[in-house]
Chain A
Amino acid sequence: MNSLRGVGRAWTGRATLAAMAAFSVLLSVACAPSGGSSGSSAGGTITVAQQVDAETLDPAMHRSRETQNVTRQIMDGLIEQGPDLKLIPKLATSWENQRPDYWVVKLRQGVTFTNGEPFNADAVVFTFKRIHDPAQKSPRTSLMPTYAGVEAIDQYTVGFRTKEPDAGFAAQLAFQEIVPPGYLKQVGDEEFAKKPIGTGPFILKEWVKGQRVVLTANANYWGGKPKVDQVIFRPIPELASRVAALKAGEVQIITTLPPDIARTFTGDIKTVGAKGTRISFLGMNVTQTPFSKPEVRQAMNKAVNQETLARTVFDGRAEALNQPAFKAMDCYDSSYQGYPKEPAGAAAVLGTLEPVMLDVATENRTFAEAVAGQLRAAGLRVTVNSMEAGAFTSKINKGQSPFFLHDWGFARGDCNTVYTTHFWSGTRKSQVFTGFSSPPTDAMMQQARTAMSSDLEGAKGIYRSLMRNVMDNAPWVPLVTPEELYGVSSRVKGWEPFPSGRVDLVQASLSGN
Chain B
Amino acid sequence: MLLGASVVIFVVLRVVPGDAVDILFSDEGGGTAEQRAQAAKDLGLDQPLPVQFLSFLGGIARADLGESIRQRTPVVDLLKPALAHTIELTFASLAIAILIAVPIAIVSALRQNSRWDRGGTALSLFGISMPSFWQGIMLILLFSVTFPIFPASGVIDANSSLQPVTGFTTVDAVLTGNWAALSSALSHLVLPAFTLGTTTAAMIARLLRSSLLEVKNLEFVEALRARGLARHVVIRHMLRNALPATVIVLGSRLGTLLGGTLVVEVVFGWPGLGWLLITSLDNRDYPIVQGAVLLATLLVVLSNLLADLIHGWLDPRVNARRSVKT
Which A residues lie at the B interface, using CB under 8 A? Answer: 3-8, 10-12, 14-16, 18-19, 22-23, 26-27, 29-37, 39-40, 45, 47, 52-53, 55-56, 58, 61-64, 134, 137, 139, 141-145, 193, 209-212, 214, 232, 234-238, 240-241, 244-245, 247-250, 387-395, 397, 408-411, 417, 421, 426-427, 429-431
Contacts and interface: CB of A to CB of B under 8 A. Distances in A.
A241 B145 CA distance: 10
A145 B29 contact: yes
B26 to A, nearest CB: 5
Given A35-B184, A145-B32, A241-B267, A14 B71 contact: no
B293 to A, nearest CB: 17
B154 A234 contact: yes
Main secondary structure on B side of the interface with A: helix
A421 B29 CA distance: 7
B144 A12 contact: no
B157 A142 contact: no
Contact of A11 (B29, B42, B106): B106
Nearest to A58: B72
B276 A238 contact: no
B154 A211 contact: yes
26 contacts: A4-B216, A7-B110, A8-B107, A12-B103, A19-B100, A30-B186, A30-B187, A30-B190, A31-B150, A31-B187, A55-B72, A56-B71, A143-B29, A210-B81, A210-B82, A212-B158, A237-B269, A237-B278, A244-B144, A245-B269, A248-B145, A250-B151, A391-B17, A391-B18, A421-B29, A430-B30
Contact of B28 (A58, A394, A411): A411
A139 to B, nearest CB: 6
Contact of B158 (A29, A37, A193): A37
B189 A30 contact: yes
Chain A CB within 10 Å, residue with most, of B25, B78, B221: B25
Contact of B42 (A63, A137, A193, A238): A137
Contacts of B17: 387-388, 390-391, 394-395
Given A34-B180, A430-B36, A245 B271 contact: no
A30 B183 contact: yes
Interface string B90-122: 000000000110110011001100001000000
The 10 nearest A-B residue pairs measured at CB: A210-B271, A8-B110, A390-B18, A34-B184, A391-B17, A15-B103, A7-B231, A30-B186, A430-B33, A30-B187
Contact of B103 (A3, A19, A30): A19
B54 interface: no
A248 B140 CA distance: 9
Given A143-B29, A245-B269, A391-B17, 19 more contacts: A5-B111, A7-B110, A7-B234, A8-B107, A12-B106, A30-B186, A30-B190, A35-B157, A37-B159, A39-B159, A55-B72, A139-B24, A139-B39, A142-B25, A241-B269, A247-B145, A250-B151, A390-B284, A421-B30
A241 B152 contact: yes
Contacts of B78: 209
Contact of A61 (B72, B180, B234, B281): B72
Interface in B165-192: 180-184, 186-187, 189-190
B71 A4 contact: no
A237 B190 contact: no
Interface of B: 16-19, 22-33, 35-36, 38-39, 42, 70-73, 78, 81-82, 85, 99-100, 102-103, 106-107, 110-111, 116, 133, 136-137, 140-141, 144-145, 148-160, 180-184, 186-187, 189-190, 216, 221, 225, 231-232, 234-235, 266-269, 271, 275-276, 278-279, 281-284
Nearest to B284: A390
A211 B85 CA distance: 11
A239 to B, nearest CB: 10
B183 to A, nearest CB: 4
A244 B152 CA distance: 7
A390 B155 contact: no
A313 B32 CA distance: 34
Given A55-B71, A210-B275, A4 B225 contact: yes
B168 to A, nearest CB: 14
Contacts of A145: 29, 32
Contacts of A248: 144-145, 148, 151-152
Nearest to B82: A210
Contacts of B225: 3-4, 7
Given A142-B35, A241-B267, A430-B31, A389 B282 contact: yes
Nearest to A398: B22
Given A34-B183, A390-B22, A237 B42 contact: no
